[in-house]
Amino acid sequence: MKPRIYLDHAATTPMRPEAIAAVAEGMARWANPSSPHAEGRAALAALEEARARIKAALGWTGELIFTSGASEALWIALNRAKVERRIVSAVEHDAVFRAAPGAEVLPVKEGLVDGHALAQMLKRGGRTIVAVQQVNSETGTIQSINQFASQVRGEGGLLLSDCAQSAGKFTLPDADLIVVSAHKLGGPPGVGALLVRDLSTVEPTGGHEFGYRQGTENLPGALGFAAAIEPIDQSGPYGFDDATSDAIYTLPDAVLDSGGALINGGANTSVFIAAYAMPHLSAAAQLIRFDAMGFAVSAGSACSSGTLKRSRALEAFGVDEDTASRTIRVSFGWNTTPAEIDAFREAWLEVAQDAARRAA
């Protein structure tokens, strides 16, 4: 039986061997890090070492609050920041809209956050937190976060960036709060982090992690997180070696040659995530066909792709309903090989050609 090819790394990436070993080590350190006895103190020392290792790997000099994942980190940032208003870009992950349902929505223009609209919104007054993701989880569109930093801070606000899809792959942006997820970069699920430049800007609620969350610290997850992020090789383009990068760059030509479309919001995109629209065939039908052929791909964010609703992000990017209904997401990770990409390119052409014949 031919081995399956996993190309849904934006949903979750397989754990690195180093992370699996580190989680196993953490399981053996069964004491509660908050306990005062020797076993608890040893667990706490390991937790703090993991915190320091992750900060060093990310080049972060502020504080790091461990969370259960990116969604919780976003909730803390959006609900505990000492602000009066919340502004979120129209293409943020659904977790942002769930955490801040009453937030003001910042439009995008040609795929990028509308800086003029942001300036006008900030002038309405009130201390504001502005959420702008670094890389979109459905299209890979890259937002130029740093250009908004002085603009937001100049009005006394805070800049929040969801970096779940970019941490360990891109340099962190100049934001006041940054969200990271371990399982997007080869670490275990169930652990993430909120990076905070200044803890005084976020209201604590009591409990663990400097008083910002409840629940016993996830030591195995923290150790796996640290082990996963440290070996990330950023020597090649965006962390891939030349052969893998070259293979990825052949996919757009195949899509266009088959009459398909590249969905990127009109802006630059991450090499790790691509969205393609195939002619004549719905996304749901494509997923079934590719799955039967041995490929794991998706129709967008794992938190929303199971619904039948039109993607809110694609709509905000200006993608029409018909094109959106035919769009799938293909995403790559640390163990993706050139041969796997080549195989998917051939599969895409086969499926697209078959769909065209049936439509003729």
Q: Do residues 57 and 226 lie in contact, with contact meaning Cβ atoms separated by under 8 Å?
A: yes
Q: What is the 3 state secondary structure string of 145-180?
A: CHHHHHHHHHCCCEEEEECCCCECCECCCCCCEEEE
Q: Give catalytic status of residue 303 as yes or no.
A: yes
- Residue in 254, 303, 349, 356 annotated catalytic: 303
189, with CB counted inside 10 A (0-12, 13-18, 19+), is: middle
The amino acid at residue 196 is V
Q: Do residues 88 and 71 lie in contact, with contact meaning Cβ atoms separated by under 8 Å?
A: no
Distance CA 209, CA 211 (A): 5
Which of 69, 91, 85 has its CA nearest to residue 12?
Answer: 69
Q: Compute the radius of gyration of the chain from its Cα atoms.
A: 21
Query: What separation in angstroms does the CA of 13 have from each of 19, 204, 258, 295, 318?
Result: 12, 32, 29, 15, 29
Q: What is the sign of the dihedral through the CA atoms of 310, 314, 320 and 322?
A: negative
Residues known to be catalytic: 303
